Structure 1
Amino acid sequence: MQHYILFYETVDGYVEKRQPYRDIHLQLARKAVESGALVMAGAYEPADGAALIFRGEDEEVAADFARRDPYVQNGLVSRWWVRKWMVVVD
Structure 2
Amino acid sequence: MSKYVMWGTYCEDVLEKRKPYRQAHLDGIAAQKEAGLVITLGPTKDGTMVFGIYDAEDEAAVRKLVESDPYWENGIWTEYDVKEWIQAF
Name the TM-score class by shorter chain. Answer: over 0.9
Residues 55 and 61 in structure 1, CA contact (< 8 A), matched pair in contact too: no
Cα distance between partner residues in 2 of 1:31 and 1:60: 19
Extract unaligned runs of 5+ from structure 1. none
Paired residue type of 2:78 = S
| Aligned ranges 1:44-55 → 2 under 5 Å | 44-55=44-55
Partner of 2:9: 9
How many residues are matched?
89
TM-score after normalising by structure 1:
0.92
User: Aligned partner of 1:11: which letter?
Assistant: C
Identity %: 27
Query: What is the SS of the residue equivalent to 1:71?
Result: helix
Distance in 1 between residues matched to 2:14 and 2:65, nearest whole Å: 19
Tell me the secondary structure at the aligned position of residue 55 of structure 2: strand
**Any unmatched runs of 5+ in structure 2?**
none
1:31 is matched with 31
Q: CA deviation at 1:67?
A: 1.0
